[in-house]
Structure 1
Amino acid sequence: MGVAGSGKTTVGELLAARLGVTYAEADDFHPPANIAKMSAGTPLDDDDRAPWLDAIGAWAHDHAAEGGVVSCSALKRAYRDRLRAAAPGLFFVHLAGDRALVGARMAARAGHFMPTALLDSQFAALQPLADDEAGVAVDIAGGTEAIVRHALDAVPGADRS
């Protein structure tokens, strides 16, 4: 989980490979209307996100037995609660970083529908993991390998060999 540009796809793919499980990109679950809205520079609201979250939750539920990694912004506690309602064993890895770092990363990437102009709305909506939520916050200022290693160290039952 994390704001746009925090590295969810990169870290998610690597984490899934290390765990030997399937990876899913949350952006692939967005209906075309959501992508068009974000591409136009308009933030999604809770109504826009509801079917998207339900589709991600269904994917997580369907992959619960064998495990899986899915990237998802999951910015608000209510979103994470909705995901956990579908797949109760979810463990969140919050890729946390400051606005300047994430903004620089977003500005450097090409071909993504999410404009940098929406980053402030993402940070405004972000509710970090609470103490009672299964998960870990990982600082994204380190290199990708350090981020993945920190996440693996925190994932319950992960094979660390």
Structure 2
Amino acid sequence: MSTPDVIVVMGVAGTGKTTIGPLVAAALGVPYAEGDDFHPPANIAKMSAGIPLDDHDRGPWLDAIGAWAHGRAGQGGVVSSSALKRGYRDRLRTAAPGVVFLHLTGDRALIEARMAERTGHFMPAALLDSQFAALEPLGRDEAGVAVDVAGTPQQIAGRAVTALRAMTAPAG
């Protein structure tokens, strides 16, 4: 019953990173860190105004998440981060070489509907197009799994834990 050291729950806004991440962490018995909490105030203000972040904006945020993941090496943990581009994931892997990515994927209409239902979040649905435009799915050479977000949070988290455990299980 082996699990990855640190798992980064990734995907476009609205896929449920903040909902699924804690469920996966609880199932694995490791702490969860909310990726949005690592954003500097300027990033939150920019996104709240409906302005997409650029690579320059994301640098300090990715470095903070990478530092958290590095600090959890050998202990395990789950952290959320959109990690939309390969370069962002490479930056996280440089900071914490053992990270594994859980890519939450799904139908755009479902994700958009879920975004429209949530309240009190700084990320408006209007930025979903920019998220999908920036998304570079996991490459075959990247440690991670993709899990569809259709279903209940418990179903999604269950599929995620099963996929992560299968990925790290010894060959036999």
TM-score normalised by the shorter chain: which range applies? over 0.9
Alpha-carbon distance in structure 2 between the residues aligned to 1:132 and 1:35: 32
* Partner in structure 2 of residue 133 of structure 1: 142
Q: Residues 55-66 of structure 1: matches in 2 within 5 Å?
A: 55-66=64-75
Alpha-carbon distance in structure 2 between the residues aligned to 1:155 and 1:54: 24
* Partner in structure 2 of residue 71 of structure 1: 80
RMSD across aligned C-alpha pairs, in angstroms? 1.1
Letter of the structure 1 residue corresponding to residue 127 of structure 2: L
Alpha-carbon distance in structure 2 between the residues aligned to 1:60 and 1:7: 20
Matched, 1:11 2:17: no
Bigger mean CA deviation after superposition, 106-115 or 147-156: 147-156
Alpha-carbon distance in structure 1 between the residues aligned to 2:35 and 2:73: 16
Q: When the two structures are superposed, what TM-score results if normalisation uses the length of structure 2?
A: 0.89
Alpha-carbon distance in structure 2 between the residues aligned to 1:144 and 1:111: 19
Q: What are structure 2's unaligned runs of at least 5 residues?
A: 1-9
* Partner in structure 2 of residue 107 of structure 1: 116
Alpha-carbon distance in structure 2 between the residues aligned to 1:7 and 1:99: 13
Q: What is the number of equivalent residue pairs in this alignment? A: 158
After superposition, give the CA deviation of every residue in 1:120-140 in whole Å (9 maximum; x if it has no partner): 000000000010000001011
Residue 65 of structure 1: how far off its partner (Å): 1.3
Matching residue within 152, 158, 164 for 1:149: 158
After superposition, give the CA deviation of every residue in 1:6-48 in whole Å (9 maximum; x if it has no partner): 0001100101111111100000000000000000000000000
After superposition, give the CA deviation of every residue in 1:54-91 in whole Å (9 maximum; x if it has no partner): 00000000011110000100000000000000111111
Letter of the structure 2 residue corresponding to residue 19 of structure 1: L
Provide the secondary structure at the position in 1 that maps to 2:147: strand
Letter of the structure 2 residue corresponding to residue 102 of structure 1: I
Instruction: Give the % identical residues.
Output: 73
Provide the secondary structure at the position in 1 that maps to 2:73: coil
* Partner in structure 2 of residue 39 of structure 1: 48
Alpha-carbon distance in structure 2 between the residues aligned to 1:72 and 1:8: 8
Q: What are structure 1's unaligned runs of at least 5 residues?
A: none
Q: When the two structures are superposed, what TM-score results if normalisation uses the length of structure 1?
A: 0.95
Alpha-carbon distance in structure 2 between the residues aligned to 1:151 and 1:21: 15
